[in-house]
Amino acid sequence: MGKLDGKTVLITGGSSGIGLASAKLFLEQGARLAITGRDPDGLARVREELGGDVLTIRSDTANLTEIASLMQQVERRFTRLDVLFVNAAIATAAPMELVSETQFDDIMGINFKGAFFTIQKALPLFSGAASIIVTTSIANQLGSPNFSVYGASKAALRSLVQSLALELISRGIRINAISPGPIATPIFDRFGLPPAVADGIKTEIAQKSPSKRFGLPSEVAKVALFLASDDAAYVVGEEIVVDGGMSLL
Ligand SMILES: NC(=O)c1ccc[n+]([C@@H]2O[C@H](COP(=O)([O-])OP(=O)(O)OC[C@H]3O[C@@H](n4cnc5c(N)ncnc54)[C@H](OP(=O)(O)O)[C@@H]3O)[C@@H](O)[C@H]2O)c1
């Protein structure tokens, strides 16, 4: 018996990295699944990889009209939602002086505003006990030079999870966060840095980590499964850190 048998799940940013690993695990555990991303080619590849009857939807989480359309499509297919995994995000690097308004708005628009309105627009689809999981980051509590906007977007999400936990629990909706440390996903290649610099950062992080390695997306997915499932029925407003000990330093 799967831990998500009969449950309907939407994962934003389910076409890569942590979201994709979670999609695979959730499917194995019996979920009926919808995932989003922006890149149609990436989504088509993932649809093939996941097989079965996964609903793949191209939807920009920064765009409220697209979020509304996403929820309509999910409702048409599943009628209701049991689990929402708010995971889509971007991380681009720049020192304070070089952060443009566009970069600031892109990061906050996707990572915070997009997450906020994804949750808001999904609420009518929840009909009983439900779980919302938000991917934050250890950058929300550590100083992160050159990632000040990203870190702040994730700190905003941590705060949001605490407030919504109290707003939503009376409706049977649990909301919790997962806070990953360094996880081996394509996000590091999307920092907007030259490959040699990105590789240098990765090596430095792995050396610094108490576990001396990056985490695997599947190791985060297992924590997401716990929070999604009834095993976490009494876990409310928490943030589970999955970082190999990095944030203890
Ligand atoms: N990897 C790490 O070390 C790490 C550490 C801490 C926190 N995190 C967090 O973990 C989550 C997943 O990251 P990841 O490492 O798995 O990164 P990833 O491999 O780059 O995946 C990001 C996913 O988000 C989607 N996405 C990005 N912008 C979007 C938008 N505007 N609308 C819809 N989808 C969008 C991407 O699809 P498209 O490209 O097609 O849009 C992709 O599916 C993020 O919240 C990230 O901040 C990661």
Give the pLDDT confidence of 36-72 residue by residue, as tens digits. 999 999 999 999 999 879 999 999 999 999 999 999 9
Q: Does the C-beta of 124 come closer than 6 Å to ligand 1?
A: no
Q: What is the pLDDT of residue 192?
A: 84
Pairing between β-strand 32-37 and β-strand 126-135 as defined by DSSP bridges: unpaired
Pairing between β-strand 8-11 and β-strand 32-37 as defined by DSSP bridges: parallel
**Atom 25 in ligand 1: residue holding the nearest Cα:** 13
For the chain, give the percent of residues with pLDDT over 90.
92
Query: What are the residue numbers of the active site?
Result: 150
- 202 CB-side CA count, 13 A: 18
Q: What is the pLDDT of residue 68?
A: 98
Q: Does the C-beta of 182 come closer than 6 Å to ligand 1?
A: yes
**Atom 7 in ligand 1: residue holding the nearest Cα:** 137
What gap in Å lies between CA 190 and CA 51, rounded to an integer? 27
Reported as a pLDDT band with limits 50, 70 and 90, residue 91 is very high
**Atom 17 in ligand 1: residue holding the nearest Cα:** 187
Domain assignments of the chain as residue spans, ordered by start: 8-242
**Mean pLDDT calculated for residue range 188-214:** 92
Residue 87 Cα to ligand 1 middle (Å) = 6
Q: What is the pLDDT of residue 126?
A: 97
CB 85 within 8 A of CB 224: yes
Q: What is the pLDDT of residue 96?
A: 97
Cα–Cα–Cα angle for 76, 48, 215, nearest 5°? 100
Atom of ligand 1 nearest to the CA of 58: 33
**Mean pLDDT calculated for residue range 127-147:** 95
Residue 59 Cα to ligand 1 middle (Å) = 13
Residue 84 main-chain phi, psi, to 5 deg: -120, 120
Give the pLDDT confidence of 108-128 residue by residue, as tens digits. 999 999 999 999 999 999 988
What gap in Å lies between CA 92 and CA 86, rounded to an integer? 19
**Mean pLDDT calculated for residue range 79-91:** 98
Residue 185 Cα to ligand 1 middle (Å) = 9
CB 118 within 8 A of CB 86: yes
- Quick check: 198 pLDDT over 90? no
- Quick check: 140 pLDDT over 90? yes
For the chain, give the percent of residues with pLDDT over 70.
100
- Quick check: 138 pLDDT over 80? yes
- Quick check: 18 pLDDT over 80? yes
Q: Is the Cα torsion angle 43, 46, 48, 52 positive or negative in sign? A: negative
Which comes out higher in pLDDT, residue 101 or 52? 101
> Which one-letter amino acid corresponds to residue 237?
G
What is the reported pTM? Answer: 0.98
Contacts of 72 (CB under 8 A, 6+ apart): none
Which residue, 190, 183, 181, 220, is CA-closest to 39?
A: 190
**Mean pLDDT calculated for residue range 128-138:** 97
Superfamily of domain 8-242: NAD(P)-binding Rossmann-like Domain (3.40.50.720)
**Atom 19 in ligand 1: residue holding the nearest Cα:** 17
Q: Does the C-beta of 109 come closer than 6 Å to ligand 1?
A: no
> Which one-letter amino acid corresponds to residue 95?
P
Q: What is the pLDDT of residue 193?
A: 85
Under DSSP, is residue 246 helix (H, G, I), strand (E, B) or coil?
helix
What gap in Å lies between CA 238 and CA 135, rounded to an integer? 12
Q: Does the C-beta of 244 come closer than 6 Å to ligand 1?
A: no
